[in-house]
Amino acid sequence: MTIVNVTNMMGEAQNQEKFIPKVIRKLLSQEKINVDTDLNGTIGTRKYVYVGDVADAAMAALADPSAAGKIFELGGPRVMSMRQVLRYILDVTGRRRPMIALPEGFVRLQARLGELLPTPPLTRDQLILLGKDNVVSPNALGFQALGIEPKAVEAIVPAYLARFRQGGQRASAV
């Protein structure tokens, strides 16, 4: 058995409830975007990894008998905070939105009250999870052990965010 542990995946057909598609949807509808305590620097960092690279790694692990019994941790080449991801999406799509830091106590209260709703926008458990880094362990086997060079967010995201640019897909990139 080979185990492949993946950080945050990204790609064109990503689940609509994940961070990047949710931000895009809110941008287009002019909704408020909560990045919560990340604006105060208390949310952990992420290593977004392209789904195509994960598929390539899984196929490489299956094809390599020496990969049997090993654990591979797959993450993209760049560590980003959610604030950095949001700023990047805004820049690529040519949109402007203010980012306001919320006091941590307020965010915790918001999460506690939100849990009373049928579909909470944020829960206390999510705050705990968000406080943890989701990156690859320092000495873990990863893409390099499988002979794969993972693509950076900057190499993938602009192509699938082009249609969301201010002025449309054919508008010049920022």
Residue 160 belongs to a domain: yes
pLDDT at 37: 47
pTM of the model: 0.77
130 falls within a domain: no
Q: What CATH number does the domain containing 23 carry?
A: 3.40.50.720
Residue 12, in any domain of the structure: yes
Question: Does residue 19 lie in a domain region?
Answer: yes
**Mean pLDDT per 10-residue run, the chain (174 residues)?**
84 69 72 56 77 94 92 92 82 81 81 91 82 86 94 86 73 56
Residue 53: Cβ-neighbour burial (10 angstroms; 0-12, 13-18, 19+): buried
| 115 lies in some domain | no
In which domain, by residue range, is 92 found? 3-33+45-96+135-164
**169 in a structural domain:** no
Q: CB-hemisphere CA count at 13 Å for 155?
A: 13
* Domain total in the chain: 1
Question: Which amino acid, residue 88?
Answer: Y
